[in-house]
């Protein structure tokens, strides 16, 4: 009960509220050594100090009052705010495709959380329609909150739940599936679902937002509109990530779930397809294909759900002069699979060789990926590469390190046999290793050069 009345307050601040009998949401007149302040006492974030009260003053602003300056305080009224996205019944129509939206806890629709002072997700079809009414012009949406975790807390357990839920919805006849997801590990989940859900008859679209939906310039609404279109009307039946193409409010990209990566901590256009082009672009009005080969939408429900994962996999980011005990300790702790993220074409220092041999002898599967993000592992070029292959390190082509980690967990979830694991790892499910890298698969242009500057000025990207 006290929690409710004094939401978020503790220590000295809580004592002060109790002493003067003032509640959160109570209107208060506070006399302090710095003068008189009037306003409504707001909840306080748990992580902030216990020296201040938060007050919303008449003009709508919030201020903090240091409790040690307070000489007297009086509650003069009470009005609790009711923060709620207006719920409107989502208008269903028979002529529109039906899309299932799974919530995992991203920022597609969110509201303020006083406990942490951050935003927390909130959605139901009604709330979504209230916030983004355009969705009803695209498809019918059903929602289901599978879990409410932040992106960084998503893991194998959630991948498996999601994969099974997707199978269930396909069985139920959904025309497309959208998964709302925090952006930090969106690409990990996209990779996991690419492996766990195969032979898809309908699109599975992962979507998030880089700016929370509580701000007017949020990318959430447009991303959701694009995702709805791709899921409901798109003909690409694959696991894809749908996020902003350019940072401008323009078109979205559909990225193949195995080739996509978050490349900037805060840009809207953070997700990029690595080593290839995106599959398509999407706007409110339709999808434009970029890649010609894709898995087309089908009428059947013959999806293959492979919800396996063994968490005894780790990743080792190599740095110069790394000591063998790092690798040894992973092996000693019982890890069955290790993804090495090596330098250049896929290299480690010689000092690690004994540790590699030891890992191989203990039956641990060790694979090589790249810190360069772009390009292929080429272990035949230099002697060191050849040495390592002899010690059991398997190059993974141009598989992204995070994707390799996910796939290795998925492979080990199916078999303990290193030979079979190797076989699974090297056989692409959906382009996690591509046979060729097109010339336009690596486009990281640098500013300051005339032609690049001309391009940036001319096109609003």
Partner 1 sequence: MKRFSPKRNYESSRKLIAYVSLHEATEEDYRRIGFKSGLEVHQQLATESKLFCRCPAGIYHEDNEYDAEVIRHMRPTLSELGEYDGTALMEFKTRKEIIYRINNENACTYEVDDTPPFPLDRKALDIALEISLLCKLNIVGEVHITRKQYLDGSIPTGFQRSAILGVEGEIELSNKKVRIIQLSIEEDSCREISDIGHTRVYKTDRLGMPLIETVTYPDMLTPWELAEAAEYIRFLNRSTGKVRTGIGSGREDVNVSCEGGSRVEVKGVAHNSWIPALSHNEAFRQYALLHIRDILNERIKDPSGWKMSSREISPGETGLLSEPVKRAFDNNMSVYALRLPLCKQILSHFTQPGKIFADELSDRLKVIACIEKPNMSHSEELEPLITKSQWKKISSVLEAGDDDAMILLWGPPEDIPTALETVEERMQLAFKEVPNETRKSFPDGTTMFERVLPGKDRMYPDTDSAPIPLHDDQIEEIRSKLPESVSDRIKKMKQWGIPEDTYRYILSKNLYPLIVSISEDFGFDPRDIGIFLGHRFKNIEGTMKAHKNFSYEIIHNLLGFIRAQDLRIEIAGPMLKVLYLHPKMRYESILTTLNFKKKEIDEILAPIEFLYEKFKQERISEDSDCAVNWIMGQIRKQATGNVSLGDLRKIVEKRIKADD
- Residue placing its CB nearer to partner 1 in the complex, 311 or 454: 454
| Residues between 116 and 135 with contacts to partner 1, criterion CB under 8 A | 117-119
For the chain, the maximum distance between any two Cα atoms, rounded to a whole number of angstroms, is 80
Smallest separation, CB 126 to partner 1 (Å): 14
In angstroms, give the least distance from the CB of 184 to partner 1.
14
Nearer to partner 1, 69 or 198 (CB): 69
Q: Pick the closer one to partner 1 by CB: 66 or 198.
A: 66
Residue from 11, 19, 21, 62 in contact with partner 1 (CB under 8 A): 62
- Residue 56: CB minimum distance to partner 1, A: 8
DSSP label of 173: T
Applying CB under 8 A, which of residues 50, 66, 88, 394 lies at the interface with partner 1?
Answer: 66
Catalytic annotation present for 107: yes
Q: Please identify which of the residues 40, 183, 384, 434 carries the catalytic annotation.
A: 183
Out of 2, 71, 82, 93, name the contact with partner 1 by CB under 8 A.
82
Task: Provide, rounded to whole angstroms, the least separation between the CB of residue 75 and partner 1.
Answer: 18
Is residue 76 flagged as an active site residue? no
Beta carbon of residue 130, minimum distance to partner 1 (angstroms, whole number): 10
Positions 244 through 283 that interact with partner 1 (CB under 8 A): 247-250, 264, 266-268
CA distances from 147 to 83, 122, 140, 162 (A): 22, 12, 22, 10
Can residue 74 be called a binding residue for partner 1 (CB under 8 A)?
no
**Stretches 28-36, 96-104, 228-236, 378-386: which one binds partner 1 (CB under 8 A)?**
28-36
Query: Concatenated DSSP letters for 310-348?
Result: ---EEEEE--TT--HHHHHHHHHTT-SEEEEEEBTTTB-
CB 281 within 8 A of CB 254: yes
Q: Residue 347, CB half-sphere, CA atoms under 13 Å: how many?
A: 13
Using the rule CB under 8 A, is 58 a contact of partner 1? yes
Please identify, using beta-carbon distances, which residue of 80 and 301 lies nearer to partner 1: 80
- SS3 (DSSP) at 288: strand
Positive or negative: CA dihedral 385, 390, 391, 397: positive
Binding mask 432-461 for partner 1 (x = CB under 8 A): ---------------x-----x--xx--xx
Residue nearer to partner 1 on the CB measure, 265 or 439: 265
Contact of 144 with 165, CB cutoff 8 Å: yes
Tell me the C-alpha to C-alpha distance, in Å, between residue 41 and each of 12, 60, 116, 367. Answer: 15, 12, 17, 57
CA distance 255 to 401: 17
From 4-12, 53-61, 184-192, 293-301, give the range in contact with partner 1 by CB under 8 A.
53-61
> Rounded to the nearest 5°, which phi and psi values hold at 289?
-75, 140
Residues 403 and 190: beta-carbon distance below 8 Å: no
Neighbouring C-beta atoms of residue 382, cutoff 10 Å: 14
| Candidates 48, 50, 113, 184; catalytic one | 184
**Apex 209 CA angle, 204 and 213, nearest 5:** 120
- Residue 82: phi, psi to the nearest 5? -115, 95
Catalytic residue selected from 107, 143, 258, 369: 107
Question: For every residue of 230-250, which 3-state class applies, written as one string?
Answer: HHHCCCECCEEEEEECCCCCC
> Pairing between strand 252-256 and 239-244?
antiparallel
Choose, by CB under 8 A, the member of 4, 11, 76, 81 that binds partner 1: 81
Q: Does 14 bind partner 1 (CB under 8 A)?
A: no
Tell me how far CA of residue 402 lies from CA of 313, 338, 351, 407, 443, in angstroms.
12, 12, 25, 9, 20
Q: Closest separation between CB of residue 163 and partner 1, Å? A: 32
Angle (CA) 41 45 47, round 5°: 145
Residue 211 sits in the site that holds partner 1 (CB under 8 A): yes
Structure tokens at 206: 């992962």
Is 301 marked active-site? no
State the nearest-atom distance from the C-beta of 411 to partner 1, in Å: 37
Window contacting partner 1 (CB under 8 A); options: 97-105, 112-120, 149-157, 252-260 = 112-120
Strand partners of residue 370: 342
Give the residue, chosen from 213, 314, 384, 434, that forms a contact with partner 1 under the rule CB under 8 A.
213
**Is the CB of 63 or the CB of 381 nearer to partner 1?**
63
Catalytic pick among 262, 336, 391, 407:
262
Active site residue 161: no
Binding site for partner 1 (CB under 8 A): 32, 34-37, 48-49, 51-52, 54, 56-66, 69, 81-86, 111-112, 117-119, 210-218, 221-222, 247-250, 264, 266-268, 447, 453, 456-457, 460-461
List residues with catalytic annotation.
107, 183-184, 262
């Amino acid at each position: 009960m006290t929690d409710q009345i004094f939401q978020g307050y503790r220590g000295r601040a809580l004592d002060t509220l109790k002493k003067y009998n003032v509640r959160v949401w109570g209107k208060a007149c506070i006399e302090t050594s710095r003068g008189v302040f009037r306003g409504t006492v707001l909840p306080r974030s748990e992580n902030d100090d216990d020296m201040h009260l938060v007050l919303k003053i008449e003009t709508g602003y919030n201020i903090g009052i240091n409790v040690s300056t307070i000489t007297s305080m009086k509650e003069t009224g009470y009005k609790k705010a009711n923060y709620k996205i207006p719920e409107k019944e989502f208008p269903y129509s028979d002529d529109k495709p039906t899309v299932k939206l799974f919530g995992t806890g991203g920022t597609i629709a969110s509201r303020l959380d006083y406990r942490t002072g951050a935003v927390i997700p909130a959605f139901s079809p009604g709330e979504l329609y209230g916030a983004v009414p355009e969705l009803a012009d695209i498809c019918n949406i059903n929602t289901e909150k599978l879990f409410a975790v932040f992106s960084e807390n998503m893991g194998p357990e959630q991948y498996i739940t999601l994969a099974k839920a997707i199978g269930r919805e396909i069985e139920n006849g959904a025309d497309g599936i959208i998964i709302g997801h925090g952006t930090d590990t969106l690409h990990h989940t996209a990779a996991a679902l690419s492996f766990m859900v195969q032979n898809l008859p309908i699109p599975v679209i992962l979507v998030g937002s880089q700016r929370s939906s509580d701000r007017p310039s949020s990318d959430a609404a447009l991303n959701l509109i694009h995702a709805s279109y791709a899921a409901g009307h798109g003909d690409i039946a694959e696991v894809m990530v749908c996020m902003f193409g350019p940072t401008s409010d323009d078109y979205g990209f559909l990225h193949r779930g195995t080739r996509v990566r978050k490349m900037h901590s805060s840009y809207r256009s953070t997700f990029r397809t690595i080593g290839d082009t995106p599959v398509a672009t999407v706007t409110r009005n339709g999808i434009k294909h970029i890649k010609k080969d894709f898995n087309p939408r089908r009428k059947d429900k013959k999806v293959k759900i492979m919800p396996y994962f063994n968490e005894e996999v780790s990743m080792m980011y190599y740095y110069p002069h790394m000591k063998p005990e790092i690798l040894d300790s992973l092996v000693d702790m019982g890890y069955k699979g290790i993804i090495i993220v090596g330098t250049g074409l896929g290299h480690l220092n010689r000092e690690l060789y004994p540790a590699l041999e030891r890992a191989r002898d203990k039956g641990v599967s060790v694979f090589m990926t790249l810190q360069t993000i772009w390009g292929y592992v080429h272990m035949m070029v230099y002697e060191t590469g050849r040495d390592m292959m002899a010690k059991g390190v398997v190059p993974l082509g141009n598989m992204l390190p995070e994707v390799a980690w996910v796939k290795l967990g998925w492979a080990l979830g199916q078999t303990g046999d290193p030979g079979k694991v190797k076989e699974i790892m090297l056989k692409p499910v959906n382009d996690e290793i591509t046979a060729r890298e097109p010339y336009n698969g690596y486009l990281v242009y640098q500013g300051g050069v005339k032609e690049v500057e001309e391009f940036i000025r001319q096109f609003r990207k």
